[in-house]
Structure 1
Amino acid sequence: MDFTFTDDERRFDTEVVAFLDSERDHPDAAVVFAPQREADAQLASTPEHKEFMRRLADKGWLGMSWPEEFGGDGHEGLYEYILNERLSQRGAPLIGKGVGMIGKTLIRHADEQLQKRFLPEIRTASIDFALGYSEPDSGSDLASLKLRATRVEGGWALNGQKRFSTSAHFAEWYWVAARTDPDAPKHKGITLFLIDMADPGLTVLEQKTMGDERTNEVFFDDVVVPDENVVGEVNSGWTYICEALDYERFTIYTVGALESKMARIMEWATTTERRGRRMSEDPQVRAGIVALATDLEVARMLTLRVIDEAARGGVPSNEASMCKLTLTRLHQKMADWMLEHLGPSGVLTHEDPDAIDDGFWEHSYRFTVLETIGGGSSEIQKNILSRRALGLPG
């Protein structure tokens, strides 16, 4: 498997870097680029972020790997990988759920009217989506969800609750899994819906997290969804959800953010002195950095294996689980290692004027716990790999 970039891929990488360098002079740069605060990155949650995404769209960089008949230009997924990695290195919002998850799922499974309705708006960064999967009693065991969709004339009435819908307070559309056949086996009676977030039957309440990220509880009170907003076939939603989650596991989780953290660790080690010598001269520190750098290279190779599988037209299931598990665990390992070596001053928050690196590692320590849960917890990834990759009993 050859992961050497072609001349055109290197040209595109250079173009992306130059564009992001120029964006540093934009009036919105202080909001758009947030490498200090992980909870502020990834999502287009502010007007400034949304305008930045529209500028990416104007460059033609959203949906590059989509087939031409759906507005893409047929680029291999490696181009989106390059773009996402460069964005994550700068702390900018990623190409996100619309392009990487929902768009690709609509292309594979939705009818023509949904494709024509949503795909152009995704490519122009005109809309954003919230994911409606988890519920109070259905998190890791997503197939046990209870949000009920009852048949009514011309559509479905939804009643119940979702939890941990991170983008629900700013997204325009809701990508929701609901139970349409309560008598079917739990994996068979689920359907995917697209719901306008302006529906008066939706109530969005803020949930605070330990990583300073806002997520939401969403309550459904007779939310009527027309038949034309059903994604694919009724009662086949579980298949689509699993594919979308596989796309999420490599669309949202990137190596670039880890590379930026590695650069911070190296800067700390080469500029910090204790007992008359730099930390980079300490054998134990050097050994720890080498171990983290080795893990980072493994994470990079796993990410490229995901891109390779997607480029072949497949859904990178096992590859995506290995990638997501490895990347999120490495985020935690880096934060743990740094706090261990920073000592008591490392736990000062960014509000404290004496905080090291503006409290970056204290915040990272809290936020990286959330990454091991979103998109399927680490335990779920291990279960997937034990069954699909190793053939162990479920």
Structure 2
Amino acid sequence: MDFDFDADQQAFIAEVRVFLNEVRQWPDAAEIMCPERESDSILADTPARKAFNRELAKRGYLGLSWPREYGGQERPGIYEYLLNEELSRVGAPLIGKGVGCVGQTLISHGSEKLKQEFLPKILRAEIEFALGYSEPHAGSDLAALKLKAERVDGGWRLNGQKMFTTSAHFADWYWLAARTDFEAPKHKGISLFLVPMDQPGITIHPIETMGEHVTNQVFIDDVFVGDDYLVGEVDRGWTYICEALDYERFTFYTFSPLEEKLKALKETLRNTRRDGDRVIDVPHVRRRMARLIAEVETSKMLQRRVIYAASLGRVPTVEAAMCKLYSTGLHQRLADFALDALGPEGLLHKADHAAPAAGKWEWSYRATALDTIGAGTSEIQKNIIARRELELPLTN
């Protein structure tokens, strides 16, 4: 297993870093590069961050792995991973679900109308999507979704509710999963639709999490969707959803935020004194720091296994589950240790001018809980590992 990047890949990394150094000179650079935002730093949710994505588009960084006939460059998926690794390192918005699960699914299964309407806009970073999957009773068990799509003249009538839809409060279009056949087994009878977020009958209620990340509750009341905006075939949506997750394997599991967080923690502990001594020099602090350094390296190895497996043409389901389970827990352990080491002052909110490291660690402590839930809970990842790697039997 070779974890090193080749010369072309290293040159691409250097090129991206040069570009990001240019962005640091922009007047709104501090709004674009926000690593302290934790889990929502990946979103293009402000005008400045959307403008940044349009600049990515102008420089040819969007659609790197797309076929040339649709405006892409047909480069290996590793380049999209490398790009997102550098973007996440500085807290800039990632290339996003439009290029990944939406664009790739449309290329594979969308009608010519949908390809012509959406693919150019995605490549120009002119459009934002929200993924309408989870529901009040269908989160980790996504196939249990109940949002109903009933056949009517010329299209479909949608009714139901979605929960925890990231991006719904600023997205342009809803990539919406609905049940089109209630008699079929739950993994069947699901279809995908594209719906404008400003469509009459869509009501969005933002929900702020304890980590100050905005997610959304969305109500769908008698929303009409024309046949032209059905993605692929009726009742094949579950297949498309699963395929879309595979498109994200290269880009979702970035390691650099953990690496940068470890550097920041070392710096904080070096600059914090207690009873005249640097906190980092306290023996029990040094022991725990040594363990965390080793854990960060372990997380890097697990992440590289995802990339390596995908580069061989395999779907790295187990490797991705191991990586997500371990790395999201490690983000929590880093924040927990930081608060222990900093003492009472570490609990100060970022709004308090006396907060160590501008309140980064108190915020991280609150925000990292979300990462163990989103994109499949830790319990789901354990089930995947148990069934597919350890071959343990299912229990009731």
Tell me how far 1:227 sits from its aligned partner: 1.9
Q: Could you tell me how far apart the structure 2 residues matched to 1:347 and 1:239 are?
A: 45
The amino acid of 2:74's aligned partner reads G
1:168 equivalent in structure 2: 168
CA deviation profile, 1:364-389 (whole Å, cap 9, x unmatched): 11111111111111111111222223
- Tell whether the 8 Å contact from 2:249 to 2:307 is kept in structure 1 after alignment: no
Alignment check: 8 A CA contact 1:86 1:256 kept: yes
Distance 1:241 1:263, change over 3 A: same
Contact 1:249/1:321 (<8 A) preserved: no
SS at match of 2:150: strand
Q: Does the 8 Å CA contact 1:156/1:227 hold for their aligned counterparts? A: yes
- What does 1:170-319 correspond to in 2, within 5 Å? 170-248=170-248, 251-319=251-319
Q: What is the letter of the counterpart of residue 260 of structure 1?
A: E
Distance 1:312 1:196, change over 3 A: farther
| Aligned residue number for residue 45 of structure 1 | 45
- Partners of 2:66 and 2:297 lie apart in 1 by 28
State the 1:134 CA deviation. 1.0
Q: How is 1:1-394 mapped onto 2 (pairs within 5 angstroms)?
A: 1-38=1-38, 41-248=41-248, 251-394=251-394
Whole-angstrom CA distance in 2 between matches of 1:371 and 1:33: 20
Q: Is the 8 A contact 2:348 2:359 kept in 1?
A: yes
Measure the CA separation in 1 of the matches of 2:66 and 2:10.
Answer: 20
Cα deviation for residue 6 of structure 1 reads 1.6
Structure 1 CA distance for aligned equivalents of residues 386 and 154 of structure 2: 42
Deviates more, 1:217-226 or 1:281-290: 281-290
The 3 A distance-change label for structure 1 pair 249 and 383 is: farther
Q: TM-score, normalised by structure 2?
A: 0.94
**1:142-171 per-position Cα deviation (integer Å, ceiling 9, x unaligned):** 111110000112221110111111101111
3-state secondary structure, aligned to 2:337: helix
**In structure 1, C-alpha distance between the alignment counterparts of 2:316 and 2:240, rounded to whole Å:** 13
Q: 1:157 to 1:91 in 2, by over 3 A?
A: same
**Local SS of the residue matching 1:150:** strand
* 1:130 counterpart SS class: strand
Report the CA distance between 1:100 and its aligned residue.
Answer: 2.5
Whole-Å separation in 1 of the counterparts to 2:51 and 2:299: 31
Which consecutive residues of structure 2, in runs of 5 or more, have no partner in the other structure?
none
Change in CA separation of 1:126 and 1:31 when aligned onto 2, cut-off 3 Å: same
User: What is the aligned residue count?
Assistant: 394
CA RMSD across the alignment? 1.8
Greater shift, 34-43 or 357-366, is seen at 34-43
Query: Cα gap change, 1:27/1:247 in structure 2, threshold over 3 Å: closer, same or farther?
Result: same
How much has 1:239 moved relative to structure 2? 2.0
User: SS of the residue aligned with 1:388?
Assistant: helix
> Cα 1:246–1:340, aligned 2, differ >3 Å: closer, same or farther?
farther
